[in-house]
């Protein structure tokens, strides 16, 4: 799961009222983090545990106690004084009975555990003394210290980054307690988290956002007795005389993603390319008549890549009038509102397009990726596939999925057309995948795309990866 600060507080409160004291949660968190640190480091290394005045400090005292109990060289340091919460004070007192009194820092450390500030940190509280502590930690890292953050690196906001100054501790590893925090996936703050590792506290999963971790194996199944009708028919509308390649990439991606039959309405220039590069697709003219005649034969329609026609609005209305899922991309992202309908509407903007759609700046979107995507999806009752440095799938009910870890080689023209083709193809197979909720099916498709891009990196440098490499890898993905 991925929590904001309020959800993190709510789960703590739920645990307390349900009979699981915070002292126990703190013990579980600290003990598991200490175990992971012991698996990585020796007793000869100097370990500094920095404890703040809140519950993160309490976690730090548990970690220090567990390490010293096992013979590790541990220094406890409280740069801003004693802990102030009752739960943290209990564990501080227990640690002191193991001889772990707080000390001043001295010399160079091999390992630093950051338990200074947690999810409740307010950037407006930055003072010179906090800056000085952050600078000292930065110097220690430059000298080779390995840095572990408890739950969230100190100085990092939990939910949004619009007020983030860049002053924070940069971790090598962040141990996320129970759930990841939103800022671990935001552009300004993600690099401060380092490697993310989740610590399971034995709590139930609440909240609406989750990191996509399910296997894509269900997408790779095939009915041995099926036929092309089993896997649906998709219609793609796109391409123009100046951008004939976009629809070709989308068509190739759709075919590689398993759709049974593919119809493509495009301009003559792109038709020639399709005949050569995707001969499995059936080509029709990009006219209102041809599109209308085809609609009663398809299970899904996707429109937009490379599209510049004056008839876009009319074609979108034709698609909305049918009881089939509709995917809007690129040139088709022109709506201010959407009709109420049973079948899904999926919009697939990149950050710039989404800023235009929401009348906000790119920076505002990047600072509040989760909030902005969710607000749009709920307001318009559409599924939003927001393409940023991560991919967010926001659902009409609120919440959604995050796909992380795609190749940086996707920052190139044609990548969005590829994802559009994959998603349209999978929605065309919705009946075959009827045991999978539609939002999850879309998230699995985006995960397939991300995994294919990452596996291409095993053969090519990210700078050299192009969309066709990712398309060709789809059928070779090992999950």
**Positions at the binding site for K(+):** 56, 114, 154
Closest CA to 439 of 391, 473, 479, 388: 391
Distances (CA, A) of 219 to 259, 436, 444: 11, 10, 8
How many CA atoms does the CB half-sphere of 327 hold within 13 Å? 32
Residue carrying structure tokens 């074609």: 315
Give burial (CB, 10 Å; 0-12/13-18/19+) of 195.
Answer: exposed
CB 316 within 8 A of CB 303: yes
Pick out the residues of the known binding site: 55-59, 114, 151, 154, 306, 350, 416-417
Residues contributing to the annotated binding site for (6S)-NADPHX: 55-59, 151, 306, 350, 417
Host H or E run for residue 209: strand 209-211
Rounded to an integer, what distance in angstroms lies between the CA atom of residue 153 and that of residue 114? 7
- Going by the annotation, the residues of the binding site for AMP are 416
Residue 321: count of CB within 10 angstroms of its CB: 12
Closest CA to 468 of 278, 269, 217, 231: 278
| CA separation for the pair 107, 463 (Å, rounded) | 42
Query: Of 212, 152, 148, nearest to 1 (Cα)?
Result: 212
d(C-alpha 284, C-alpha 319), whole Å: 16
Which of 236, 284, 285 is CA-nearest to residue 257?
A: 236
Q: Are 182 and 159 in contact (CB under 8 A)?
A: yes
Cα angle, residue 127 at apex, residues 122 and 129 outer, rounded to 5° = 125
Closest CA to 423 of 474, 369, 468, 381: 474
| The two structure tokens encoding residue 65 | 């106690």
Among 442, 406, 412, smallest CA distance to 425 is for 442
């Amino acid at each position: 799961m991925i929590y904001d600060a309020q959800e993190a507080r709510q789960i703590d409160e739920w645990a307390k009222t349900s009979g699981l004291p915070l002292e126990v949660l703190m013990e579980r968190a600290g003990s598991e983090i200490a175990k992971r640190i012991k698996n990585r480091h020796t007793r000869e290394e100097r370990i500094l545990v920095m404890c703040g005045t809140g519950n993160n400090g309490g976690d730090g005292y548990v970690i220090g106690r567990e390490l010293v109990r096992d013979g590790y060289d541990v220094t406890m340091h409280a740069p801003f004084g004693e802990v102030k919460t009752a739960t943290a004070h209990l564990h501080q007192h227990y640690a002191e009975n193991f001889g772990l009194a707080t000390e001043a820092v001295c010399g160079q450390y091999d390992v630093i555990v950051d338990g200074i500030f947690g999810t409740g940190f307010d950037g407006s509280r930055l003072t010179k003394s906090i800056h000085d502590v952050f600078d000292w930690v930065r110097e220690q890292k430059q000298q080779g210290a390995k840095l572990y953050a408890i739950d969230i690196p100190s100085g990092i906001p939990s939910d949004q980054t619009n007020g983030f100054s860049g002053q924070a501790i940069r971790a090598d590893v962040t141990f996320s307690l129970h759930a990841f925090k939103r800022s671990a996936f935001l552009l300004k703050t993600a690099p401060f988290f380092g490697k993310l590792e989740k610590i399971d506290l034995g709590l139930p999963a609440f909240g609406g956002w989750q990191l996509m971790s399910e296997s894509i194996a269900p997408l790779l199944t095939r009915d041995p007795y099926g036929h092309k009708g089993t896997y649906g028919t998709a219609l793609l509308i796109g391409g123009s005389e100046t951008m004939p390649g976009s629809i070709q990439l989308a068509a190739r991606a759709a075919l590689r993603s398993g759709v049974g039959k593919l119809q493509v309405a495009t301009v003559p220039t792109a038709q020639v390319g399709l005949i050569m590069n995707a001969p499995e697709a059936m080509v029709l003219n990009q006219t209102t008549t041809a599109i209308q005649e085809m609609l009663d034969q398809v299970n899904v329609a996707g429109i937009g890549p490379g599209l510049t026609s004056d008839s876009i609005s009319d074609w979108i209305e034709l698609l909305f009038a049918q009881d089939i899922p509709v995917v809007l991309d690129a040139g088709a992202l022109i709506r201010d509102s959407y009709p109420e309908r049973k079948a899904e509407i999926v919009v697939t903007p990149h950050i710039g397009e989404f800023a235009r759609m929401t009348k906000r700046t790119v920076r505002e979107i990047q600072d509040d990726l989760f909030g902005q995507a969710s607000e749009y999806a709920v307001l318009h009752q559409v599924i939003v596939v927001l393409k940023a440095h991560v991919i967010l799938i926001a659902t009409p009910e609120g919440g959604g999925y995050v796909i992380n870890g795609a190749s940086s080689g996707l920052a190139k023209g044609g990548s969005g057309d590829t994802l559009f083709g994959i998603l349209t193809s999978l929605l065309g197979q919705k009946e075959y995948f009827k045991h999978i909720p539609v939002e999850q099916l879309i998230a699995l498709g985006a995960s397939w795309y991300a995994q294919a891009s990452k596996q291409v990196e095993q053969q090519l440098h990210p700078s050299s990866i192009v969309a066709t490499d990712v398309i060709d890898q789809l059928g070779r993905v090992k999950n």
